Amino acid sequence: MDSSAATFKSFFYDHPDGAILISRNGTILEINRAAEDLLGYSRKDLIGKRDIELIDFTKVEPAIFEMMVRSVFSGEHYTADLHAKKSDGTSLPIQLLVNRIRYQGEDILSFTIQDITMRSEVDAAMRESEERYRSLVDLSPFAIFIVVGEKIAYLNPAAVSLLRGENQHDIIGNPMSNYVLPEEHLNMTNCLEDREMATKRELVQTQFLDLNKNKVDVEALCLPIVYKGVPSTQVIGVDITERTFLEEELRQSQKLEAIGLLAGGVAHDFNNILTGIIGYAGLGHSVLEEDHRAFRFFKQIEEKSQEAAKLVHQLLAFSRKDILSFTKIDLNDIILSAADFLGRVLPEHIDYNTVPTIEPCTINADPVAIQQILTNLCVNAKDAMPEGGSVIITTDIVKLEENTINASFDFSPGYFVKLSVKDMGTGMDGKILEQMYDPFFTTKDIGQGSGLGLSMVYGLVKQHKGLIHCDSLVSEGTTFDVYFPYVDQVKPVTGFSEDPIKAERGRETILLVEDDIDVLTILQSILESSGYKVKMAKNGKVALDILSDGEEQIDLVITDLIMPEMSGTELYKRVEYLPNRPEFLYISGYARDSEIKGLQLSPDVEFMKKPFTATELNRRVRAVIDKSKKT
C-alpha cells in the first residue's frame, strides 16, 4: 500500500462523520467507524453486501432516491435530509451528502452521513411553536397585522373583520396607510418606523378606515418582530368603536346631569319669586274694574310671569326634578285627543297626520308630560320646515331584548310603546346631533328659541324610564323615536282637558306652611280674599306644634315640600295618625328625588306645581276640601 492510499484510509476510517463507499451496482465497498456507530452495523456485516437497505424508504419514495443516484453519476452531487435505517430497524434522521469519486480505478458513490437528530428535534419544536403561534394568531379576537416596510405582509381573520373585508388576499400587499384615517398617517408612520418607541409597548388610540371608508376607532399596540427573516412591525389592534360611543354617551349624560342639578336649584328659587309676582298681579286685577287703566297692566304682568313659569318648567323637566302624576294611559288616545291642540301649534302650511297602531298602546305616564313631549317634537319639526311640509306621528309596540337605542338611559328588556315623530325638513348634521339635547343649545336666531325644547324632552323621557333616538340626514328630514315601557291595563286619560273648574268661596280653616315669607304672605292674601280663615307657620316644626295642640279644627294643610328642619312629607308622617287629621295639599317648584319618589308611591297625593295663579289655587283648595267631606 503506497503512502497516498494509506493516508486516504486513515482519513476515511477516522473521519468524524459517517462514510460509506458503494459501487455502481450497489455493493458496499467500505464503511468507516463513525458509520458503524451510527447505523449499528460492523464492517463484516456490510462489506460486499448489496441487499441491505441503508435508507428508510418508508420516509422517502425509492424512485426519488434512485433518480438522485443517477444524477450523481451524471456529474452532480446532492445533499438531502433523509432517514437512515439502522441495524435494529429503527429510523435515524440524517443529512446525506452524495458525491461521485474515483476509487480503485472505477467511479463509485461516496455517502457522507451526519446525525441530525438534535437538529430535527429543534426543527420540529420550531414548527410546533410556529403552528401554535399561527393558531393563536388566527383564533385571536384581536386584529393582528404584520407590516414589512409599509406594506401588510400578513393579517389574521380578526383584522380582516375589523376592516370589514371578506378575505386576506384583498388586503395583503397593500400599504398600511390605506387603512388609516389621513390625519392619523403620521402617528402610524412613527409607529412603524420608530422601533425603539415600539418596544415601549404603549397603547395608542387611533382611527382606521375599513374597506367601505367608514371610520373604526381602534386601540393599537406596535411591536417589533422578525417575519421570515426580515425586521418588521406587528400591529395589534382592538375595535373600540362601541366603547368610544358608550364613553361619549356617558360623558354627555354626566354633563346633562350636572347642568340639571344647577337648573333645578335655580328653578326652585325662581318659582317662589314667580308665585309672588303672579299672586300679587292676580290680586291686583281682581280688585279693579276692567275699564281701570291699571287693569291691563296687572293682566300683562300675570301673563308674562306665566311665560316665565313655562321656561322654569322646562328647566325642571330637563333636570328631571319635576313631579309627575303617573297613571295608566293609552298613548293612542293622547295622540288623537291632541289633534286639535297641535292644529293650533302648527301653522297652516304644515300638514299633521297621525297613524296609530290598532293595538292599545298602554303606558304608565303623566298625560301632561306626554303632551309636552309631543308638542316639543312637533314644534321642532315645524322649525325644520320653514317652507312647509308634513309631520307624521305613528305608534307601535316593539320588543327590545337589549339597549341598542341610547346607552345613557336605564334599560330593562321587554315590550315598549314606540312613538315616532317624522318630518321632511332640513335635517341635522353630525355636529348638531351631538349637541341637540344640550340645554340652551339652539340653531335658531337670538330671541327665536330658548334651546330647552329637546333637553326637556330628554329629561321627561328619562323620568318615564323610556328611551329616545334620533335619525336625521341633511336635506332629508328627521325622525325622533321615543320608547315607553308597555303595560297591559289602561285607565283612559287624555291629559288635554282645558275645561275650567268653577271656583267657590269657603269658610274653612287652612294652615299654610311655607318657609318663603313672600310666598306665605301672598297665599294668605289670596285665600283670605276668598273667605277662608288662614293660620300660618314658617316651617314644619311650627306647623307640627299647631296640629298637635288640636285647639282649633284645621280643614286643610297647604305645605311646601322642601323646607329647612322638616319637609312637607315629614310633617305629614308626624301627624298621619292624629285624630281628625286634615287633608294635605303639597306645593313646590322643585323637589328632591327622595321627595318625588315618596309622592309617586301614594296615588291619592294632592300636589300643585309653583307658580300658580290665584284662580288655580282657589279651584284646587275647594276641590280638595270638598273631596274630603265626601269621604
DSSP 404-436: -S-TTS----EEEEEEEEEE-S----HHHHHHT
CB 397 within 8 Å of CB 359: yes
Question: What per-residue confidence (pLDDT) applies to 496?
Answer: 42
Backbone angles phi, psi at 630, to 5 degrees: -70, -30
99: part of which helix (H) or strand (E)? strand 91-103
* Assigned superfamily of 3-120: PAS domain (3.30.450.20)
Fold of 254-319: Helix Hairpins (1.10.287)
pLDDT at residue number 492: 43
CA–CA separation, 226 and 6 (whole Å): 51
pLDDT of residue 416: 92
Residue ranges of domains in the chain: 3-120, 140-239, 254-319, 327-485, 509-630
Cα separation values, 401 from 133, 467, 554, Å: 38, 13, 53
Q: What are phi and psi of 88, to 5 degrees?
A: -90, 5
Task: From residue 166, give the alpha-carbon distance in Å to each of 169, 183, 211.
Answer: 9, 26, 10
> What's the helix, strand, coil split of the chain in %, to 5?
40, 25, 35
Q: Using CA atoms, how far apart are residues 241 and 448, in angstroms rounded to an integer?
A: 37
Helices then strands, each counted (H, E), the chain: 20, 22
Please state which of the four CATH numbers 3.30.450.70, 3.40.50.2300, 3.30.420.40, 3.30.2020.10 is assigned to the domain occupying 509-630: 3.40.50.2300
Three cell numbers written together for 293: 287703566
User: What was the pLDDT predicted at 450?
Assistant: 45
HSE, CB side, 13 Å, CA atoms: give it for residue 592. 9
pLDDT value of residue 344: 63
**Closest C-alpha among 409, 461, 452 to residue 259:** 452
How many other C-beta atoms can be found within 10 angstroms of the C-beta atom of residue 379? 17
Q: Which residue has the cell 452521513?
A: 113
What pLDDT was estimated at residue 504? 61
Q: Which of 597, 598, 619 is nearest to 608 (CA)?
A: 619
Contacts of 525 (CB under 8 A, 6+ apart): 279, 283
Give the long-range contacts of residues 443-452, CB within 8 A, separation 24 or more. 444/383, 449/383, 450/311, 450/314, 452/311, 452/314, 452/315, 452/318
CB 625 within 8 A of CB 506: yes
Residue 498: the pLDDT is: 40
Q: Is 115 exposed, middle or buried (0-12, 13-18, 19+ CB in 10 A)?
A: middle
Contacts 24+ apart (CB under 8 A), 74-82: 75/100, 81/116, 81/120, 82/55, 82/56
Distance of CA 121 to the CA centre of its chain: 51
Cα 61 to Cα 56, 58, 68, 625: the distances in Å are: 9, 7, 11, 109
| Domain 140-239 identical in fold to domain 509-630 | no
The ranges of the chain with pLDDT < 70 are: 1-7, 120, 129, 192-202, 252-253, 255-257, 259-265, 267-268, 310-325, 339-341, 343-345, 406-408, 435, 438-453, 489-504, 590-604, 631
Helix (H) or strand (E) holding 545: helix 540-549
SS3 letters across 4-60: HHHHHHHHHHHCCCEEEEECCCCCEEEECHHHHHHHCCCHHHHCCCCCCCCECCCCC
Beta bridge partners of 464: none
CA atoms within 13 A on the CB side of 449: 17
Q: What is the pTM of this model?
A: 0.44
The CATH number corresponding to 140-239 among 2.60.120.560, 3.30.450.20, 3.40.50.300, 3.20.20.110 equals: 3.30.450.20
Q: How many CB atoms lie within 10 A of CB 472?
A: 20
Check if the beta carbon of residue 472 is closer than 8 Å to that of residue 433: yes
Which DSSP string do the residues of 181-246 spell out, in sequence order?
A: -GGGHHHHHHHHH-HHHHTT---EEEEEE-TTS-EEEEEEEEEEEEETTEEEEEEEEEE-HHHHHH
Task: State which amino acid sits at residue 630.
Answer: K
CATH value of 327-485 in 3.30.565.10, 3.40.190.10, 3.40.50.2000, 3.30.420.40: 3.30.565.10
Query: What's the pLDDT at 4?
Result: 63
Q: What is the β-pairing status of strands 350-355 and 230-239?
A: unpaired
E strands along 49-90, which residues?
78-85
Q: Measure the CA–CA gap between 535 and 516, rounded to whole angstroms.
A: 15
- Nearest Cα residue to 437 out of 484, 469, 391, 402: 469
